[in-house]
Structure 1
């Protein structure tokens, strides 16, 4: 859906600028034209030659370049694009935008544009968490500026936490979402994501290691293809994608109620890692140790089976029901049996044994199982898994 689209890409000054080179390549693969703008600080990390070679276009750098003003003034440059993308968006660039400063080409373009702006922030985690940056972020969002990321991870400075720029494919998905229409326009897709928290008492609960990253990526990819997405999520470690109708829940029972309230839908993707069991009677107060030293006895009961409930609906069933099977052994056998037992159309099977690093990680390796057989996908970024699955869903609903 990016064919013929014109993206004005502003590359800020940060170590993540190297990712902008891959972003240019990904955008051009999808048919987009990229007009690059390199800040002075950005030029310390990537060269104008490398940017120009990948973009197949001139790199704009200076505000007061008379040749450029004669050929294409900065006002025209800022308005001839379909979308402005800032990657990496540094704390300095965000502060300039929030306060309406226009002292260089990049900030002037951002102030003069009448198009939507998407930021991919990248900075040291302390800078990201600083009150000033968070105030600027809140102001920019209130102004209608879109954001993607930042992600958690290890920084170039050696610290760990939020501040890493989103991966290029994640940014591509966000760009597609920002540009609107696609093959799923007019379709309603329900997506569940994240873990559920089943209370033991007011301070303890049963959960699992799901980060919600894959479900969030799928929801974002569906939005990018034009779908209206209802996103029902448990307490996930990742932020929900832009453009969804968000329904936040904690328990499996709440998730089932939210799913039923969101129907009807054209398709439903059940990517949530729902707890299989819950405590029959959660304690009203914190459970204390007693003098005997014996642990409390907890009585469990099964949680509702959300996937089977929807897949086996007698009326109002979505045309396409997709489940996930996170397994640690005999993955394909268990997943194939689950598809038949639950009554869903597709199962996305993945191996989440500890050695894979998939549960809570940035990548996934899945097999798509349907009545037509099994299709093994290579290990790839979760954003790319989401894009492929969204495209398959679009084709199935066409």
Structure 2
């Protein structure tokens, strides 16, 4: 088996060699709040990655992956972030749905969908949140009714990342009439390019529109496009959320370090670093980032709900506070924008990180999870 040091060397060498020429300008592009940047070229880059075997590195070889160990997966994401490689466009498929199908899907579903995810020929989005069921996923009202060899889906999803470019959506829908909360939900795979599916982009504070509303009005999918049995959707959905907060977050932290270093550089260049309050805030940010990394490394392979909730709280609060720190460093000049609402990097960081504590599970829900499932406190009273 390849040693970790040899694996790191191989990944680093490949990235340095290939983030050049036609791909060189993609360094640092994309990511939350910036998904519009060079989107088509980032897909091309990711297909280039796939051809070299560098997508889905943690998947088992029988499903097209490298079968990389946990440590090697950490190494890959660290090196990917270190190289400044562009944000991936197929995160929902590679990091969320793919592992879910490997864990819960049928052989036929794995054969049908995993190659398109690995090769970046089919893009996915996540149909969880609704206007009345954001972080409270158990309140889902979207319904799906069996009609012969198909499911017919009716309802609305919201804050659906990249739905406007996705080919498929994994949807949580209520398939048992009259069921409540976690019962009666099913996990469906629904094609987006069909009558009965309408996508409306949501314009954000940053002026971009990577989130969307999705309306299902009699949309259809094949009867066998259900992961798990009917009514088992909650169990499968929780499995997906556990994958969402897994190893890839360590690579995200390398990006956080790069952002923090840039903020420190800006503070020194402008003289803001001479302010004791700014230096104190920078010191706190450095310590908290080290704590976040230590927690993530200690938690590798632990997918329980409490660990996932704590991880989400740590990184989302830190990143939001980094936006505050960036504005502290900028001072009054950070309050003005260029003609046509032309935001600079720090303003975009500040505005978009307001959402970090909401999407992917709000702070309030994560604290409830920790209180109820880890500390064994009484459950919140629900009306």
- With structure 2 as the length reference, what TM-score do the two structures score? 0.25
More strand by share: 1
More helix by share: 2
- With structure 1 as the length reference, what TM-score do the two structures score? 0.25
Larger radius of gyration: 1
- RCO (CA 8 Å, sep 6+): is it higher in 1 or 2? 2
